[in-house]
Amino acid sequence: MPNEEILTIALSKGRIFEQAMPLLQAAGIRALDDPEHSRKLILDTDDVRVKLVIIRASDVPTYVQYGAADLGVAGKDVLLEHGGDGLYEPLDLRIARCRLMVAGKPGSGLDTCIDGQGRRRLRIATKYVACAERYFAAKGQQVEIIKLYGSMELAPLVGLADLIVDLVESGNTLKANGLVPLERICDISSRLVVNKASWKMKHDHITHLLAALRDAVEHPDTDQPMPS
């Protein structure tokens, strides 16, 4: 591989950065700055041929699709919404795991939405419009989807929606707002994504990194001391 060839990896701060760093470290890549304490959006690493760009989680597929980053780490939720055009998805990193679920007030089943006039369409509030549409269409259920950008749990409490579609990890956020999980749509984890042109042009470099990451995913903590 050419000596001057740079690989750019896009990732978001917070849980994805925190959980991806041990894997990248096992693959020999350490960030020289902490995005939680730095305003830099481009971070150098101790490998001069690898840089990190820190962006919104939902922007990662776009950066990688257009080749602004060669690789990226993105949640399956974000990839399902984006559609995955222009991307390879060669590795499940098994981090930032959670479930995409339908949730609502206790007892608010999927057919309880009947008013004086008879049945009306269920209203579903979500940031995951494409996933929600696909899920209810597959069940043959006509619903009205309301796009929100966050705090979905509020929607059923103030009568904006009957149900929400959101990510659930422990269920504590739902519980704190008097909601319960009702149906699981799919399991979510973060994936390594690769720009299709980069895959060809920087093949050796990417293959090498991919193998190291796969090894780190399959053999977690091999460099940690064994508990006595």
CB 190 within 8 A of CB 96: yes
Name the residues that contact ligand ATP, by CB under 6 A. Answer: 12, 14-16, 56-58, 75, 77-78, 96-98, 167, 169, 188, 190
- By beta-carbon proximity to ligand ATP, the closer residue of 157 and 186 is 186
Instruction: Give the list of residues 6+ apart from residue 141 with CB closer than 8 angstroms, or none.
Output: 110, 122
Tally of residues, the chain: 228
The minimum distance between CB 75 and ligand ATP, in angstroms, equals 2
Q: For residue 127, give the 3-state DSSP assignment.
A: coil
Q: Which is nearer to ligand ATP, 110 or 146 (CB)?
A: 146
As measured in angstroms, the least distance from the Cβ of 6 to ligand ATP is 25
C-alpha 16/C-alpha 10 separation (Å) is: 11
* C-alpha–C-alpha distance, residues 137 and 155, integer Å: 22
Q: How far apart are CA 83 and CA 66, in angstroms?
A: 14
- What is the CB neighbour count within 10 angstroms for residue 124? 26
- The nearer residue to ligand ATP, 72 or 156, going by C-beta atoms, is 72
Residue closer to ligand ATP by CB (options 19, 205) is 19
CB of 99 to ligand ATP, least distance (A): 9
Task: Select 15 or 94, whichever has its Cβ closest to ligand ATP.
Answer: 15
Structural contact between residues 206 and 125, judged by C-beta atoms closer than 8 angstroms: no
Name the token pair of 57: 């989680």
Residue nearest to ligand ATP (CB): 75
Do the beta carbons of residue 198 and residue 70 sit within 8 Å? yes
Calpha distance 39→115 (Å, rounded): 51
Q: Please state the closest distance from residue 97 (CB atom) to ligand ATP, in A.
A: 6
Handedness of CA 179, 106, 139, 158 (dihedral sign): negative
When the beta carbons of 77 and 162 are compared against ligand ATP, the nearer one is 77
